Amino acid sequence: MFKFYVSRFSFFVVSFFFLASFLVAKENQYRDVLQKHISNKHWKKAVSYIVKNKKYTLKEKDDLIIRVICSATIEGEKPLVLSKPLYKELISYIKFLSIPHNVQNIKILLAESMIKHDHYHLAFELIKDEDSASLKLRIKNDYIARLIQKGEEAKALRLLEKKGYAKCKDVAFSEMSKLYSHKKDFKKAIRYLKKVESRYILSDTVRAIGRDFLETNPSEKKVLAFAEFFKSKEDKKSFFLSYFQNLLKEKKLHKLENILKKKKVNLGDDFALESWRILLVGLLQKKKYDHAMKNIRLIEKSLKKIGEDDIDTLWKMVFDSCYFSGEEERVWAQKVLKYVKNPRQREMLKKRLM
C-alpha cells in the first residue's frame, strides 16, 4: 500500500513539473513571436497577435500594446522620421486599450511625438475630444516650443494672441530666452526671462541660460548680478560652484580667493566649505602648500557650523598632496605636522606616515 501511494505521488510530481515546463516553453514561444514582430517593425502583426491571444489579462494586453506603440516611436541612434500614415496606424491601435488612463497616456505620448515630427494637425486632432484642459495646454505648449526651436518664433509669438494660447506665454518666453541665450545674446535672453511668471518654468530657464552664460567667461560683477535671477538657493549654489570650477580651470585662483575672503557669496557654511575646497585643490596643484595651510586656518576661524571631520579632511588633503608627491614635497609634509596646532589632528596625520 505504501509503495502504491509513493508511486502515485511520484506520478503527480513528474506530471506537475512536466506541465510547468510546458507552460514556460509556451510562454517563451509567445514572447519570442511577439518580439520577432516588434524587431521586424511589423506593428500590425504584433498588435493582432496580442489582441487574439486570450491568455493575457486586460492589464497585460494594455501593457503589450503600449510597448508596441512605444517601440514604433522611440528614436534610435539614427534620426527617426515618423510619417503621417504610421501615426494613423498607431492611433488605430488605441481602440484595443481597455484601461482609461492608459488611453490618455498613450495619446499624450503620440501627440508629443507628432509635434516633434511636425505633424501638428494630427496631434490636435488626436486630443480634440479630450476633456482634460491641462492635456490640451500641454500639447499647445509643445507646439509653441517646437515652432521657436525651428526658427519660427514670429509665428509662435503671433499664436499667443489667439484664443486658447494665452496660457502658453510662459513657455513661449522661456523658449525665446533660451534661443537668444544659445546665440549668446544675453541682453535679449534676459528681457524675455523677465516676462516668465511661472516659478517652475523660470527656474528651468535660468539654469539653461546660466550654463550658456558661464561659457562666455563673464566678469565677476556680471556673475553676481546674474545670480539674482535664481529663486532657488540650491540652483544658486550649483551656479556659483560651476563658476568657481571655471576659475579653477582658468587658473584664476586670486579671483576665487578674493570672492571667498570677502564673503561676496553668502549661501551657508556648507557651500562655503565646498567653495574653499575648490580653491585648495588649485593651490595644491600649484604646490602652494603654505598658502593652502593658511587658508585652512582661516576656514577654521570663519566657518563655525562645520564639523571637525570636515576640517580633518582638509588637512588630509594638504598632507597627502605633500607626502605622496615626491621627496622634495615630503619636507612640506613635516611642515604641515608642525603647523597643525590641534594634537588630535597632528596624531591623525602622523598615522598616515605609517
Which pLDDT score is estimated for 319? 79
For the chain, what is the radius of gyration of the CA atoms?
32
d(CA 86, CA 119): 11
Q: How far is CA 25 from the centre of its chain?
A: 40
Residue 351 has which C-alpha cell?
Answer: 598615522
d(CA 51, CA 136): 30
pLDDT, averaged in runs of 10, over the chain (354 residues) = 47 44 47 81 88 87 91 67 88 92 91 92 90 90 94 94 91 96 94 93 94 93 94 94 94 93 92 94 89 88 83 82 68 74 76 68
Which pLDDT score is estimated for 39? 84
Contacts 24+ apart (CB under 8 A), 81-85: 81/117, 82/113, 82/114, 82/117, 82/119, 84/119, 84/122
**Residue type (1 letter), 347:** E
3-state secondary structure 75-88: CCCCCCCCCHHHHH
Instruction: Indicate the helix (H) or strand (E) that contains 138.
Output: helix 133-149
Residue 242 has which C-alpha cell?
Answer: 560651476
d(CA 245, CA 229): 20
- Alpha-carbon distances, residue 46 vs 1, 52, 75, 97, 144 (angstroms): 54, 10, 19, 14, 35
Give pLDDT tens digits for 298-354.
888 888 888 888 888 888 888 788 777 666 666 677 777 777 777 787 777 777 766
d(CA 318, CA 284): 7
* DSSP secondary structure, 220-263, as one string: HHHHHHHGGG--SHHHHHHHHHHHHHHHHHTT-HHHHHHHHHTT
d(CA 28, CA 177): 52
**Residue type (1 letter), 174:** S
Instruction: Give the angle 221-223-227 at the CA atoms, nearest 5°.
Output: 120
Name the maximum alpha-carbon separation found in the chain.
Answer: 97
- Look at residues 111, 113, 145 and name the one whose alpha carbon lies nearest to residue 127: 111
Which pLDDT score is estimated for 30? 56
Residue 73 has which C-alpha cell?
Answer: 516611436
- What single-letter DSSP state applies at residue 129? T
pTM as predicted: 0.78
